[in-house]
Amino acid sequence: MKNYIQDLNKAFENRIRLGIMSILMVNDSVEFSTLKEMLDITDGNLASHIAALEKIEYVNVTKQFIGKKPNTTYTVTKAGKKAFNEHLDALEKLLKNRD
Amino acid sequence: MKNYIQDLNKAFENRIRLGIMSILMVNDSVEFSTLKEMLDITDGNLASHIAALEKIEYVNVTKQFIGKKPNTTYTVTKAGKKAFNEHLDALEKLLKNRD
DNA sequence: TAGTTTAACTTTGCGCTACAAAGTACTTTT
DNA sequence: AAAAGTACTTTGTAGCGCAAAGTTAAACTA
């Protein structure tokens, strides 16, 4: 049996980061507040997980003003998409393995 | 968007426990040493993860002697199978979600 | 214009987790 | 008698996850 466990990405082990990525993969751009609501977590917690994904360059941040309000949106980077897809492939193989 | 994140099982968040379960799901009974080799981790680490799965009754342990050697084998319980399948369902839904 | 609110953080602090390494118990092999 | 094998348990450390509180800057509010 090949060891697909090694191919799982540590960055996506946490459920919240898994959630962030799965949302960003199917939405071009998502706001901080939207993510916060979807995931139902505290803003601090979200910020720290996003920061982790930003640091490894899986997620891009865009800060702007919409009207008078600050607005932060996130997108997944090319590297992030690749890494996430590889993670899903590894997951799939791991779980379908029947040696 | 329904929050499938909540349906993910904390017990399976760790990659090693995910690996243990995925192996036990498709093999009736697996030895300690086999698991250790397949997962390529230290025996202490494996023992502690197995202990966690045992404690919540997702895994059964059987100790016996084969010839002169002690032999410990593990099987997944009914509850373990159910929990793992539910976890996989949640994963699938989370990742396929396109709202 | 002082005080409150909103958005998006950052910092703090604590409890929990993961892991390697070392120690243990019992047995077998040398 | 000593070494090795099986399956742990214990120890110690570093890191993580999270809520809560603190921060910044701009914007309404009285």
pLDDT in tens, A80-92: 999 999 999 999 8
DSSP single-letter state for residue A71: E
Residues of chain B contacting A40 with CB distance shorter than 8 Å: 3, 6
Domain boundaries along the sequence of chain B:
4-93
Topology (CATH level 3) of domain B4-93: Arc Repressor Mutant, subunit A (1.10.10)
pLDDT in tens, A50-73: 999 999 999 999 998 877 778 999
Residues of chain A contacting B19 with CB distance shorter than 8 Å: 5, 94
In tens digits, what is the pLDDT along chain B, a chain of 99 residues?
A: 567 888 999 999 999 999 999 999 999 999 999 999 999 999 999 999 999 999 999 999 998 877 777 789 999 999 999 999 999 999 988 888 544
User: How many angstroms away from the CA of B66 is the closest CA of chain A?
Assistant: 24
Q: Given this structure, which CATH class describes domain A9-96?
A: mainly alpha
Which B positions 53-72 lie with beta carbon below 8 A of chain A?
Answer: none
Q: Match 């994904």 to its residue by tokens.
A: A53
How confident is the model at residue A65, as a pLDDT? 81
CB-CB under 8 Å, A88 with B22 = no
Phi, psi of A69 (to 5 degrees): -100, 140
Positive or negative, the Cα torsion across B90, B95, B96, B99? positive
